[in-house]
Amino acid sequence: MKYITKYKSPNYNSRNSSKIQLIIIHYTALKNTLDAVSYLCNKEKKVSSHYLISQNGTVYNLVKDKFRAWHAGQGFWQEITDINSISIGIELDYNPNGKNNKFSFKMIYSLKKLILKLQKNYEINKNSILAHSDIAPFRKIDPGKNFPWQELSTSKLILNLKKLKKVEIKIMEKWFYVHNLKSKKQKIILALSLIGYDTREVYKNSKLYNKLITAYRIRYLNYEDKIKNKSIYNDLIKHLFNYMLTKK
């Protein structure tokens, strides 16, 4: 896979031997690719990513994989708070309020090729391809509600959640019962926590709880269920069961 390497960001430091475990997908929210390159390579901005993918599918390598790019900011996943040290950051030339407000076919094609290469190079689990909003649900929304996660699922790059059988649902409900979890909210929060989300403050803060639920809905529910404002409970139980089966 070919990259444009003539632009280099100065905004990086050492991973300190941390193993690459995650791929984080962002959008730039800028006018175009040139603006994004300028921003990500500006020393004063103190922001960067390893890769940037343009609307026409061109892939820019701005920071070498071996270095710690500054793309995630304050985040959390599976008890880890230094997300930059264990992740690869991919920015997409997309702005929901701009002319570049489509995830083009060429962009997504290049993204899938890049993810596949990174998965092979670093043995990254299908559970570990994340949205910026997954690791920072209380302050970030990218890559947003229109990002085509189904494209990645169809290409078998991310976990494809299979429907649960009745016996499997009973297994999960029994597991919740054994752990004295009675309300749906308790079960939802525990499931989100086990998958990796930051649930540290949501028990006592309803605003943060709602933000977390919104982030999960945008990421995992299909379009029709998002519109209907469907409960995430059944989907989350399915997700947790599938996650436990595929966790390394």
Phi-psi region of 103 (alpha: psi -120 to 50; beta: other; left: phi over 0): beta
Query: Which H or E element spans position 208?
Result: helix 206-220
Dmax over Cα atoms in the chain, in whole Å?
A: 57
Residues 6+ apart with CB under 8 A from 194: 240, 243, 244
Could you say which of 44, 91, 123, 151 is catalytic? Answer: 91
Six token digits for residue 209: 């709880």
168 catalytic, yes or no? no
**Backbone dihedral angles phi then psi of residue 35, each to the nearest 5 degrees:** -65, -40
User: Chain-centre distance of CA 84, in angstroms?
Assistant: 13
Strand partners, 80: 77
Q: What is the distance between the alpha carbons of residues 191 and 199, in angstroms, rounded to a whole number?
A: 10
User: Chain-centre distance of CA 13, in angstroms?
Assistant: 22
Q: Which residue has the tokens 């701005």?
A: 62
Active-site positions read 91
